[in-house]
Amino acid sequence: MREELERKYWELVKAVKRKGYDEQTVHRLRNFNTPISVILASFEKLPKTFWNLVLDLITEKEKNLSNPLFYCFTGKPGRGKTLSAVRFMFTKLLSKIDEEPEYKAPLFMTSFELEDYALGKIELHRSYYGNEAWFEARNFSDKDDVIPFSQLTKNFDIILIDDVTEETTSHLEKVILNAYLTNTIVVFTTNVDVMEFFSPRTNSRLLESCVFIDFNDFPYLRDIQEKGGEGETT
């Protein structure tokens, strides 16, 4: 399985290189704590027709915001939220690399990692040059130290938080408030109406700077795949 993923990854490298990006850039894209399988799936399992619908809607909604920072992908399971979020993050990252060669590492994290981070169970590590990031368990003796969420937002240009639940909305809210101050892009997927759990202050930030995409408005991703929809690299 690992060998197959590696083979497909190199196919992705070639595909992205054909679009004008060098191999080093593609490797840097891989180093943001996202499993190779998820990156590949965002290209291979996301039909072009589906992705174009999503991207067109995002672009249209961005026009109504002076400074779009947040992207909320909502909808029931199986609608393509996570694959679209990773694909969108990949697209944003390529754009940032074009504009800012010395970009900060992006970060992918699940809501479970977000909660563990908030509780001090894990800590974030970054490479010397800042283009790699990963989590490790914290020493028990260090758990009394509070790690501010500003450590996340000031060290990354883009953060993707996958599958936010009711229990983790309070942590997401802190990320959003800090990201607003540091101009950090935050993409998150969820099945819940997060604004029901946020303060008026946070909701005001979202209404001002958030693109909301409801994937319940799109056809089921599985239906498109079964009809022969092709991904980017197929």
13-59 pLDDT, tens digit per residue, is 666 666 565 555 555 555 555 655 666 667 777 888 889 999 999 99
Query: How confident is the model over 205-229, as pLDDT tens digits?
Result: 999 999 999 999 877 666 665 565 5
DSSP states along 210-232:
EEEEEGGGSPPHHHHHHTT---T
The three-state secondary structure class of 213 is strand
**Residue closest to 196 by CA, chosen among 172, 217, 166, 175:** 166
Report the distance separating Cα 159 and Cα 133, nearest Å: 11
CB-based contact 208:65 (threshold 8 Å): yes
Q: What's the pLDDT at 153? A: 86
pLDDT band at 89 (very low <50, low <70, confident <90, very high): confident
In the chain, what are the domains? 48-219 (3.40.50)
Given a cut of 50, whether residue 104 has pLDDT beyond it is yes
In contact, 69 and 134? CB cutoff 8 Å: no
User: Which residues lie across from 126 on neighbouring strands?
Assistant: 133
Number of helices (H) and strands (E) in the chain: give both, helices first: 10, 7
Q: What angle do CA 151, 74, 83 make, to 5 degrees?
A: 75
The per-residue pLDDT for 62 is 97
pTM equals: 0.79
For residue 103, what pLDDT is reported?
A: 61
Instruction: Name residue 161's beta-bridge partners.
Output: 109, 188
Q: Is the pLDDT of residue 7 over 70?
A: no
